[in-house]
């Protein structure tokens, strides 16, 4: 979804539409996975623009998930 800039996907079985899976749904599922598997690290690729991290941190906060550390590659690493 991210690589192709797709904001939502249809949820279908055969010809029947059951609903829409959105970027927010994906993040909610990711947060729930992190809560139940908190010992595993998470890698997130974000656009290089101001405020890109805000949306992710906002969802973590909503689900009471704490961030224990963050690593960001330096400018020379981006190539």
- Which residue range is the domain that position 24 belongs to? 8-66
Low-confidence ranges of the chain (pLDDT < 50): 76
Q: Report if residue 28 sits inside a domain.
A: yes
Tabulate helix, strand, coil % of the chain (nearest 5): 35, 15, 45
Q: Report if residue 40 sits inside a domain.
A: yes
Nearest to 31 by CA among 64, 1, 3, 70: 64
Q: Report if residue 14 sits inside a domain.
A: yes
Q: How many CB atoms lie within 10 A of CB 55?
A: 13
Number of domains in the chain: 1
Does this model's pTM top 0.75? My answer is: no
What pLDDT does residue 46 have?
Answer: 79
13 strand-pairing partners: 16
Q: Report if residue 79 sits inside a domain.
A: no
H or E element in which residue 62 lies: helix 52-62
Q: Report if residue 18 sits inside a domain.
A: yes
H or E element in which residue 10 lies: strand 8-13
What pLDDT does residue 20 have?
Answer: 95
């Amino acid at each position: 979804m991210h690589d192709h800039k797709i904001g939502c996907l249809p949820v279908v079985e055969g010809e029947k539409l059951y609903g829409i899976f959105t970027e927010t749904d994906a993040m909610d599922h990711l947060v729930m996975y992190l809560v139940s598997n908190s010992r595993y690290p998470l890698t997130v690729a974000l656009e290089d623009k101001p405020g890109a991290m805000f949306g992710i941190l906002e969802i973590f906060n909503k689900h009471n998930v704490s961030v224990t550390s963050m690593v960001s590659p330096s400018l020379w690493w981006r190539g």
